[in-house]
Amino acid sequence: MDQIRIWNDESKGRALQAIGALDLKREWRVIIKRWSNNRTLAQNNTMWMAFSDIAEYTGHTIDEIHDYCVGMFLAPTTRTVLGKIVTTPRSTASLEVDEMVKFTEQIHAWAQTELDFKPRHPDNMERT
């Protein structure tokens, strides 16, 4: 079964119908969580534009700037694997739209305050 988006009584009824049709000879996992949209392509492009500008300004690679900002501004993901706790950086691909807005704002604020540098932003494409 795929994801079902519920936004009104009709879609709610379809979801309940799908659950009612499950073969109970097997076990199922049903997860219900608030619908949210992942970051947009435009947001992703804005983030990488900032990383590119900062990398050029600092002499670091784009990936180094990406990894640095992810480490600075995103909480890592922690889970247990084979009985051991594993902590990994959070992927920017998993960010929701509002989280990506905050992350991009943090990158720009950090660059301006810590590096005295203003990366380009679609709202203001000129560097100053």
Q: Which of 11-20, 47-56, 119-128 has the highest mean pLDDT?
A: 47-56
Residue 23 has pLDDT above 60, yes or no: yes
- What letter represents residue 16's amino acid? L
- This prediction's pTM: 0.69
How high is the mean pLDDT of the chain? 90
pLDDT in tens, 51-106: 999 999 999 999 999 999 999 999 998 999 999 999 999 999 999 999 999 999 99
Binning the chain into helix, strand and coil, the percentages to the nearest 5 are: 50, 10, 40
Q: Break the chain into its structural domains and give their ranges.
A: 1-35, 41-114
Tell me the CB-side half-sphere exposure of residue 47, using CA atoms within 13 A: 24
Residue 39 has pLDDT above 80, yes or no: yes
